[in-house]
């Protein structure tokens, strides 16, 4: 008589095992968005939210390629160079400036809601109002028409969406 086997777990994690898994556990390992995932760990407000099982979040994570193609690093702001010159990010004041800019970038991509419905206006942690639309079979974030390529992960406290570009964070 064949032994009774437990349900197969081949081909990927068992969906039931996602109970208790939070965004913070998976964002650094999520394919194509691990650069953004790393940034989320540097920003305390965001890192603690993504660990919090009692607060749902939709993370709008730009693809690695979109971040690498930015004309400047997410922690750089041309206004700082205007005001402080080429050494704007040197020393501890420079580090604070860079951290503040990175925080704005990351928080502009964090929606404190999940589920999030089409056309539902939400305020990101950075204070910007955004929404999404389904257009010709594609999901796009507005304003800016930024395409969502996929919903990469759904876990206990929300979802990670992968974006083809970055949202306005100025
Ligand atoms: C939180 O998000 C998860 C994943 O989308 C969802 O299953 C759950 O119902 C949400 N919880 C609340 C209170 O909306």
pLDDT tens digits, 65-122: 999 999 999 999 999 999 999 999 999 999 999 999 999 999 999 999 999 999 999 9
Name residue 142's beta-bridge partners.
131
Q: Band of the pLDDT at 4, cuts 50, 70, 90?
A: low
CA distances from 92 to 6, 43, 96, 98, 99 (A): 56, 17, 6, 10, 10
pLDDT at 15: 47
Ligand 1 and 57: CB distance under 6 A: no
Using a pLDDT cut of 70, give the percent of the chain over it: 89
Ligand 1 and 124: CB distance under 6 A: no
Q: What is the secondary structure of 7-36 as a DSSP string?
A: PP-TTS--GGGGTT--HHHHGGGSTT-HHH
3-class SS at 56?
A: coil
Name residue 123's beta-bridge partners.
129
Among 115, 126, 117, which Cα is nearest to 166's?
126
Ligand 1 centroid – CA 55 distance (Å): 9
Give the number of the atom of ligand 1 that is nearest the alpha carbon of residue 56.
1
* Rg for the chain, CA atoms, rounded: 18
Ligand 1 centroid – CA 113 distance (Å): 9
pLDDT at 11: 43
Among 108, 130, 110, 134, which Cα is nearest to 120's?
130
User: Is residue 135 over pLDDT 70?
Assistant: yes
Q: Which H or E run includes 88?
A: none
Work out the average pLDDT over 24-45. 95
User: Is residue 8 over pLDDT 70?
Assistant: no
pLDDT at 3: 56
What size, in residues, is the chain?
A: 170
Using a pLDDT cut of 90, give the percent of the chain over it: 85
Residue ranges and CATH numbers for the domains of the chain are 23-163 (2.30.180.10)
pLDDT, one tens digit per residue, over 40-63 is 999 999 999 999 999 999 999 999
């Amino acid at each position: 008589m064949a032994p009774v086997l437990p349900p197969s777990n081949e081909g990927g994690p068992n969906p039931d095992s996602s109970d208790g898994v939070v965004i913070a556990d998976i964002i650094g390992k999520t394919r194509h968005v691990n650069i953004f995932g790393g940034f989320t760990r540097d920003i305390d407000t965001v890192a603690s939210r993504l660990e919090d099982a009692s607060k749902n979040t939709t993370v709008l994570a730009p693809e690695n390629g979109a971040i690498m193609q930015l004309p400047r690093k997410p922690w750089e702001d041309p206004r700082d160079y205007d005001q402080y010159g080429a050494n704007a990010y040197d020393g501890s004041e420079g580090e604070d400036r860079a951290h503040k800019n990175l925080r704005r970038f990351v928080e502009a991509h964090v929606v404190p809601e999940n589920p999030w419905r089409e056309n539902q206006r939400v305020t990101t942690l950075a204070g910007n109002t955004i929404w999404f639309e389904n257009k010709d079979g594609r999901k796009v974030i507005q304003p800016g028409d930024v395409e969502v390529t996929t919903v990469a992960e759904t876990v206990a406290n929300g979802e990670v969406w992968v974006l083809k570009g970055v949202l306005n964070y100025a």
